[in-house]
Amino acid sequence: MPIATPEIYAEMLDRAKAGGFAYPAINVTSSQTLHAALRGFAEAESDGIVQVSTGGAEFLSGATIKDMVTGATALAEYARVVAAKYPVTVALHTDHCPKDKLDGFMRPLIDISLERVSKGLDPLFQSHMWDGSAVPLDENLEIAKELLDKCARARIIMEMEIGVVGGEEDGVVGEINEKLYTTAEDALATAEAVGVGDKGRYMLAATFGNVHGVYKPGHVKLRPSVLKEIQDAVGAKYGKDKPFDLVFHGGSGSLLEEIQEAISYGVVKMNVDTDTQYAFTRPIAEHMFKNYDGVLKIDGDVGNKKTYDPRSYGKAAEAGMAARVLEACQSLKSAGTKIS
């Protein structure tokens, strides 16, 4: 199947909310991790979302180039070719973009999609995330209004964040404090500023104790009921049931029952990064330890080409990450729900 069209992506999100499941959004940083994500979705018979962060996009452009737009564009174009060979539908998304990177990442990518759409093509990415969590809410919403209008014209769904996700991602650190919990007042202000779908479709990353990074189960103090509170408050005002398409960030270390409770309140997308990074790297570490004398030319020896060929450990890494993607689909109840 090809990359999702704007219409199919909208259908995917509608099906998730109506069906009580969420799509794993898998962060990728290379062609190999992209294939791992696609393979995991295929094995789960689940559609899904593949996403790239600012740091991931920079890495994809080349370690000496460090151009986020180049890396993101290359990923999107490559994905269009290879995803067509997998029996699932995937959407392409860009992850957290803070204010200081808008002009070097999100805005230029939207411009590319505007140009594509003007020629009758689909947008380059199906959704982009504006992360205004580090600026005051008023400023966050003003920028969101501008970006949502531009995204809507480019047939793109915008994601935005209110509240703060704790922990660290791509060098951005969020403190663990009361701002981890979005209030009903914040949600009402958001609906007032950017509507509830009438001004362009968007997803909302509302926080309920989320923390980026890896933690043991029980460390992260989630309160999924916060999501119900904001849905109820905004829904009552606008006469809509579960008006927001919610996104779950920072899920590592979360209990399965907490994840599934969050889904019941309208979460349609959950970001998965830390866990899949480990699942990719763990088989590589095992390969290196088991084949120490083969991957190194010790004391002038020749080593073993079969073990230091990147394909030998790359295949194991892909399989390990794909298995974790399959697990995510099962946890989020998207397994077996593919559109076709």
Is 273 annotated in a binding site? The answer is yes
Is 249 annotated in a binding site? The answer is yes
Number of Cβ within a 10 Å radius of residue 255: 12
Is 212 annotated in a binding site? The answer is yes
Secondary structure letter of residue 51 according to DSSP: E
Contact between 126 and 3 (Cβ < 8 Å) = yes
Is 35 annotated in a binding site? The answer is no
Contact between 334 and 23 (Cβ < 8 Å) = yes
Is 96 annotated in a binding site? The answer is yes
Identify the active-site residue in 14, 47, 67, 95: 95
| Cα–Cα dist 87/182, whole Å | 38
245: annotated active-site residue: no
Is 272 annotated in a binding site? The answer is yes
Give the position of tokens 């084949």.
Answer: 291
| Cα–Cα dist 29/326, whole Å | 19
Distances (CA, A) of 47 to 5, 34, 335: 13, 14, 8
> How far is C-alpha 205 from the chain's CA centre?
11
| Cα–Cα dist 260/265, whole Å | 9
**107-118 and 137-153 are packed helices; what angle lies between their axes, rounded to 10 degrees?**
20
Is 271 annotated in a binding site? The answer is yes
Is 159 annotated in a binding site? The answer is no
Is 274 annotated in a binding site? The answer is yes
Is 93 annotated in a binding site? The answer is no
Nearest one of 312, 315, 314, 295 to 303, comparing CA atoms? 295
Tell me the residue type at 8: I
SS (H, E, C) 186-225: HHHHHHHHHCCCCCCCEEEEECECCECCCCCCCCCCCCCH
Is 128 annotated in a binding site? The answer is no
**256-264 and 310-331 are packed helices; what angle lies between their axes, rounded to 10 degrees?**
60
| Cα–Cα dist 275/100, whole Å | 28
Is 219 annotated in a binding site? The answer is no
Is 250 annotated in a binding site? The answer is yes
Distances (CA, A) of 93 to 130, 171, 226: 11, 20, 26
Specify binding-site residues.
96, 131, 161, 212-213, 249-252, 271-274
Specify binding-site residues for dihydroxyacetone phosphate.
213, 250-252, 271-274
Specify binding-site residues for Zn(2+).
96, 131, 161, 212, 249
Active site residues: 95
